[in-house]
Amino acid sequence: MQTVAFEPTLADAAAEVLESMCFTEILGDGPEGFLGESQWVSSTMEFQGVARGRFGLQVSADAARTLAANFYGQEPHEVNADQICDVIGELTNMVCGAALNRLEKASSFHLSHPESTIRVGKLQPFHSDNCSSRILQLEDGFLSVWLELVPE
């Protein structure tokens, strides 16, 4: 897999998964340089195959609660922190798989189990020569999605 800008692929994969699993659509790009919101649900995982790397999602707290509620068919006030982390972890797995499939259709990848946590503080941007990221606006907040290739 060549190192290229994956941002459009990340946005397309996120849109596909969010629409099918959480009945949520992406409204557009988040503001450039955005670090707002004070609480985020973060989930990361690793992948190996023709390329090796890490993938992650960060979802603002209100948006994460809405995504979990939509996933479970409940009202936002009915979901708890464990359910929210489980859903964001599952979304991480599904978006990662969808993105890698778009990038390398004929290849298979081994995906680690996603690890999700609720974190207080500003969005942690990802910057490296081998990392692509995108901040997307949802109805109730923001989703940051990133993919980093590990040089061999």
Residue 34, domain extent:
7-142
Domain-located, residue 147: no
Q: How many domains does the chain have?
A: 1
What CATH code is carried by the domain that includes residue 127? 3.40.1550.10
Check residue 36 and give its pLDDT.
63
Q: Which of 130, 127, 139, 146 is nearest to 60 (CA)?
A: 139
Instruction: Please tell me the distance from the alpha carbon of residue 115 to that of residue 103, in angstroms, as a whole number.
Output: 23
pLDDT tens, position by position, 32-58: 655 566 788 999 999 999 889 999 999
Check residue 3 and give its pLDDT.
41
Q: Which two tokens stand for residue 28?
A: 């557009």
Check residue 29 and give its pLDDT.
85
Domain-located, residue 45: yes
pTM: 0.86
Domain-located, residue 40: yes
Q: Which residues of the chain have pLDDT under 70?
A: 1-5, 32-37, 120-128
Check residue 66 and give its pLDDT.
96
Domain-located, residue 149: no
